[in-house]
Amino acid sequence: MSETPPIRAHVTGWGRYVPSHVLTNTDLEKMVDTNDEWIVSRTGIRERRVAAANETTASMAAVASLRAIRAAGISPDEIDLILLATLTPDYWMPSTAALVKEAIGNTRAAAMDVAAACSGFVYGFATAQAWITSGLAKHVLVIGAELLTRFLDYTDRSTCILFGDGAGAAVLSASTEPGGAMGIELTTEPQGAYMIWLPAGGAKSPPSSETIARGEHYIRMEGKETYRFATRTLASTALESVRKSGLEPDDISLFIPHQANIRIIDAVAKGLNLPMDRMFTNVDRYGNTSAASVPIAMAEAVNEGRVKVGDRITIVAFGAGFTSGAVTIQWTADPARGADADTAIRAEDVHVRLPVDWDSVDPIPQALAELMARPGAVNPPLDDVVPGEPEPAPFLPAADRPALTPAAS
């Protein structure tokens, strides 16, 4: 009697979206006491993207998702489960995943957010793999999307230079063909809980004028402790995933690590005893996009021809929590499908529904207003979806804007 082959989770679709506004190190030199040389030598970051006023985590996620679904060659309604990893949801509730479900035109999927900071996409990917291999779902959409530039203190040079906005997505599909996702390794070390955190806005410290005056609505980070955790954990997490797949690091043609800092990626390569050309990097162009970083990097790696059918790749991330996660994948999809999806899905055609009885507030941080008002910059209305909404206030240079409460240093 022949045995039924096991169900495997294959990556069948991938997509990315980044906003068009570019914030360079030279721009940051005008805001805080920093310089291009320091940022490039300590982090590898040259520029990052900033979402426009009418963009949200959900809108960026929806564009990346539709590209991933198109690359997978399925219709949005074939998705059974949507997992959206983010630390910058549009709202505390509903989930951003629910908004994305509607925006992509899906009527049947269960949708929920995943909170594991920068490791969120890998955590979501591993969860999708479990749903598929257990037979619970046929197609799962996993998204990493972040709008971090609205949660940064632009007087704190140790954090505001690091982060950027964007979204990436993957479709995982059930198949009995060989290949697909293999060994999973996930870790959580709560002793690092307050090393990267956003103090106010939650139940422990609800938002108030006091929390805003103290700047507790911004991301805080102990850079050195985080750096130590990342360099200690990233290589060991990747190695565990590779070994659980019955492989050794040298069998992996490309590692796709979380893009936080080029020095951390360099340490991973050294830890695995591999040359840097086995590490995919794009941190120079986008900075740290948290949960979006791995899926953006994966989509770019595939679209740039760095991944071929049959290759084994490992996605690996670390983040607040402290969390870390890795999954090793044998690639089976035609890489050419990604570039086609990128051109076929245009961001301006994708809309996230807004509440009807609510006026949007200009969400652009005062420190970024000048950037958004640059000649040639595209600044569509805040919300062009709800009829009867008042026109948003025009973008003003920082000096002409009403002062915001200064953040505590």
> Which of the residues 113 through 152 are near ligand ACO (CB under 6 A)?
117-118
- Contact predicate 278/353, CB 8 Å: no
Asked if 290 is part of the footprint of ligand ACO (rule: CB under 6 A), the reply reads: yes
Closest alpha carbon to 318 in 399, 213, 245, 241: 241
Asked if 31 is part of the footprint of ligand ACO (rule: CB under 6 A), the reply reads: no
Asked if 230 is part of the footprint of ligand ACO (rule: CB under 6 A), the reply reads: yes
The residue within the footprint of ligand ACO, chosen from 38, 112, 351, 379 (CB under 6 A), is: 38
Shortest reach from residue 345's CB to ligand ACO, in Å: 28
- Give 42 or 243: the residue with its C-beta nearer to ligand ACO: 42
Asked if 197 is part of the footprint of ligand ACO (rule: CB under 6 A), the reply reads: no
Instruction: Decide if 118 is catalytic.
Output: yes
Helical (H) or strand (E) element with 72: helix 57-72
**Catalytic pick among 258, 261, 282, 303:** 258
Residue 338 CA: distances (Å) to CA of 105, 148, 193, 234 = 20, 26, 37, 28
Residues 6+ apart with CB under 8 A from 146: 57, 86, 87, 88, 163, 165, 166, 167, 289, 290, 291, 292
- Give 161 or 171: the residue with its C-beta nearer to ligand ACO: 161
Residue 352 CA: distances (Å) to CA of 14, 98, 314, 349, 392 = 20, 10, 32, 10, 18
**Catalytic pick among 118, 139, 282, 303:** 118
Shortest reach from residue 337's CB to ligand ACO, in Å: 30
Asked if 34 is part of the footprint of ligand ACO (rule: CB under 6 A), the reply reads: yes
Helical (H) or strand (E) element with 85: strand 81-85
Asked if 265 is part of the footprint of ligand ACO (rule: CB under 6 A), the reply reads: no
In Å, the largest CA–CA distance within the chain is 78
Asked if 401 is part of the footprint of ligand ACO (rule: CB under 6 A), the reply reads: no
- CA torsion 114→102→289→255, rounded to 10°? 70
- Give 232 or 244: the residue with its C-beta nearer to ligand ACO: 232
Q: Which stretch binds ligand ACO (CB under 6 A): 101-109, 156-164, 376-384, 397-405?
A: 156-164
The 3-state DSSP class for residue 257 equals strand
- Give 39 or 132: the residue with its C-beta nearer to ligand ACO: 39
The residue within the footprint of ligand ACO, chosen from 30, 108, 224, 346 (CB under 6 A), is: 224
Asked if 30 is part of the footprint of ligand ACO (rule: CB under 6 A), the reply reads: no
* Whole-angstrom distance, CA of residue 194 vs CA of residue 189: 11
Q: Which stretch binds ligand ACO (CB under 6 A): 31-39, 166-174, 245-253, 373-381?
A: 31-39
DSSP 87-136: SS-SSSSS-HHHHHHHHHT-SS-EEEEE--GGGHHHHHHHHHHHHHHTTS
Asked if 24 is part of the footprint of ligand ACO (rule: CB under 6 A), the reply reads: no
Residues with a catalytic annotation lie at 118, 258, 288
Binding residues for ligand ACO, per CB under 6 A? 34, 38-39, 42-43, 117-118, 157-158, 161, 196, 221, 223-224, 226-227, 230, 260-261, 288, 290, 319-320
